[in-house]
């Protein structure tokens, strides 16, 4: 919660995970990687991902934009993303409600 989650100012593809890890480390948090059985993500092509964003940008353009944003976050000490964000109620596993 202290990190504010993914930086919502980033474009939808590339660098979000690395940015979150960078900000966690810069905040003094330990980053632990755990092995996961099975597939790590839903397989889909870059073309599918780009189409699903609904944006007119290519992958490389999003990567460059997000890389600059990631570097800027660290340079400016911007370790908490999405300041002023208001928590919303969401369903977890379609059975339980929680606030994020």
The region of weakest confidence among 6-10, 50-54, 68-72, 74-78 is: 50-54
Task: Quote the mean pLDDT of the chain.
Answer: 89
- C-alpha 46/C-alpha 35 separation (Å) is 25
Over 90: is that where the pLDDT of 87 sits? no
Over 90: is that where the pLDDT of 100 sits? no
| Mean of pLDDT values over 17-42 | 90
pLDDT of residue 65: 97
pLDDT of residue 82: 92
């Amino acid at each position: 919660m202290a990190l504010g989650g993914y930086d919502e100012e980033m474009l939808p593809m590339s660098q979000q995970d690395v940015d979150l890890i960078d900000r966690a480390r810069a905040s003094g948090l330990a980053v632990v990687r755990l092995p996961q059985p099975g597939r790590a993500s839903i397989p889909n092509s870059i073309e599918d991902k780009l189409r699903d964003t609904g944006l007119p940008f290519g992958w490389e353009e999003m990567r460059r934009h997000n890389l600059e944003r990631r570097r800027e976050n660290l340079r400016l000490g911007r370790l908490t993303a999405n300041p002023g964000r208001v928590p919303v109620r969401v369903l977890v596993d379609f059975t339980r409600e929680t606030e994020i």
